[in-house]
Amino acid sequence: EVCVREPLFSRTMKPNFIFSMAPFFSHFPLGQMTDLIYTEKELVQSLKEYIQAEESKLAAVKSWANKLDVLTLASTADPEVYLAHPVNAYKLMKRLNTEWSELESLVLQDPSDGFISNMTVHRQYFPDEEDEKGAAKALMRLQDTYKLDSESFSKGKLPGVHHNAILTVDDCYDMGKTAYNEADYYHAVLWMQQALRQMDAGEEHVVSKADVLDYLSYSVYQMGDLPRAIELTRRLVAIDSSHQRAGGNLRYFEKLLSKQLKELNQEVQEPATEEPIQLGTYKRPKDYLPEREIYEGLCRGEGVKMTSARRSRLYCRYHDGNRNPRLLLQPMKEEDEWDSPHIVRYLNALSDSEIEKIKELAKPRLARATVRDPKTGVLTTANYRVSKSAWLEGEEDPVIERVNQRIEDITGLTTQTAELLQIANYGVGGQYEPHFDFSRKDEPDAFKTLGTGNRVATFLNYMSDVEAGGATVFPDFGAAIYPKKGTAVFWYNLFRSGEGDYRTRHAACPVLVGCKWVSNKWIHERGQEFRRPCGLTEVD
């Protein structure tokens, strides 16, 4: 279980800790995805109108056909007798000259014009192939971080979710295919196996079982499991003996397995049984992030090093910013989140109206979040940071100016040399993997263009609650800080000596359910000379 604190405040009282389970993708932030929901609703209405127009057209054509059917039955029974009547002769001329032309015009009418026009208008806002791939990767990222099996995902059984959404056989197949096309055979196996499981359970599907087995067997082979690859390929051959690759793959797999067994001086064994592949059957391949397991464990609430001794050193207090006039009558409520390095949380740092105004200003400018290239100092996008962000200046609105001033009052540090207020929106699967806020010695040019020195401190405002996931975690010392709307956390990135505090490497865990809004204020060294004087040792 994760720790949620509800302290009773006094100037000397320690916080009263209460434990409870925290309530429970993407290049598109939730705000833009909400717009897409309403766009889809409008298109459904347009589609219904098109269907109604098509049905009206078809009804009119059917009425013509029925009427003409009756007439032709009578006229063809005895054409000479029929045409002997002058009225019938006239009506035949009229029908062929006028009425059949009207019918032709009716048939040529295209009721789809309105629907197509509506689609064309909205298509420019549709996600593209890269966005769909990004959403699929977000689900896989959540699957890994929170150790969720494919079946739980496909049935929509996620922590804290009240409205389940299911993935069909074809959805699972598409997830697996996305992974396969990225040479991510680990996830390809998990999702193709889930597609096969639902298929075997009798669920309706468009994709063929042969296609699922084709991808699954090769992915399993890539994971190094030859016996199971052979078993799956045999199932594929049994379904489709003329399959283009299956026969050749089977012979190759069997020959390879025989060679391996011979090298190990083992007798040939029967291939694996048809037991389904589970989460944990195969080990996830290592990647570029050395602390991956620690980081993801903290995101799940595992490995948090909040001991009784450490908890006893954490206090809550009223903070008046060293007798700052703006905080004397209404001091900030300050809680210790961690003792060393010292991390504090401020309650009621932002009001609901301020949060709404900041979001209103930021939404039109939200763009894919960037990071500074450590070599060039140039801002660029990165796969390890998936969110949307915008930057707001104090001059744009009194609310931004007020927030900047409040940060200065609370911290005692000048914000005149700080970066602009950065607003970040993390949709489902949105994250920022472990990183430092300050520049290291091997990247001296990271903030050179700003001319204000290194990032001495971080002030992070939480502007929303998150139903599940989205914690800020510190892998080095095992801390996890959970978002709480209206609160802010603060820590120093540099020691007083100017040396970086490498313990402050931190991450924004993927959002599992919900939407996470934060605003960051990175405070720089310049201007702090008398506000935070240098220490005498490297770690002061």
Burial state string for 334-357 with b = 16 or more CB within 10 A and e = fewer than 16? bbbbbbebebbbbeebbeeebbeb
> Among candidates 26, 32, 126, 53, which has minimal Cα distance to 363?
32
pTM of the model: 0.78
Question: Tokens 């499981």 label which residue?
Answer: 197
Task: Return the pLDDT at 540.
Answer: 62
pLDDT band at 385 (very low <50, low <70, confident <90, very high): very low
For residue 371, give the DSSP letter. E
Give one DSSP letter per residue of 493-521, joined into a string.
SB-TTS-B-GGG-EEEPPEEES-EEEEEE
Q: What is the pLDDT of residues 197-215, one digit of tens each?
A: 999 999 999 999 999 999 9
Mean pLDDT of the 243-249 span: 88
Alpha-carbon gap, residue 272 to 233, rounded angstroms: 11
Task: Return the pLDDT at 383.
Answer: 56
Task: Return the pLDDT at 61.
Answer: 92
Q: What is the pLDDT of residues 418-476, one digit of tens each?
A: 999 999 998 878 889 999 999 998 887 788 889 999 999 999 999 999 999 999 999 99
> Among candidates 161, 145, 162, which has minimal Cα distance to 480?
145
pLDDT band at 73 (very low <50, low <70, confident <90, very high): very high
CB 372 within 8 A of CB 308: no
Angle between helix 185-200 and helix 209-222 axes, rounded to 10 deg: 150
Bridge partners, residue 380, by sequence: 371
pLDDT over threshold 80, residue 51: yes
C-alpha gyration radius of the chain: 33
For residue 387, give the DSSP letter. -
| Distance linking the first and last C-alpha atoms of the chain | 35
Alpha-carbon gap, residue 300 to 294, rounded angstroms: 10
